[in-house]
Amino acid sequence: MHEAGMRTPLHTSAPLNPRDLEAIVTMLEVAGLTLTETPGQTFTREALFREANALIGPKVRIDESDMAIVLKGMKTFRNVGGELCVR
């Protein structure tokens, strides 16, 4: 997936609706796993949002406010000193 620091966008058979909450959850989970190279590694919300949008590709942008709303209800991440960590 990494090539000279670039991400290859994920490919889907159906167009992604940037307001689809289930799709946002999935993209945040994948982004969190991508940002976690070692167990317990932390990252910022901003890094998570950037990574999620990078994985989707340039044609679709998920709004940060939608990601923030979804992130509040997710149990995938825990707060560690103001940053996030995959549970």
Nearest to residue 26, comparing CAs of 74, 72, 64?
74
pTM check: above 0.85: no
With a cut of 60, say whether residue 3 has pLDDT above it.
Answer: no
Percentage of the chain beyond pLDDT 90 is 56
Cα(72)–Cα(8) distance, integer angstroms: 27
Cα(11)–Cα(29) distance, integer angstroms: 16
Cα(43)–Cα(63) distance, integer angstroms: 19
Residue 75's pLDDT band (boundaries 50, 70, 90)? very high
C-beta atoms surrounding 9 within 10 Å: 15
- C-alpha R_g of the chain: 13
pLDDT (tens digit per residue) in 22-50: 888 999 999 999 999 999 999 999 999 99
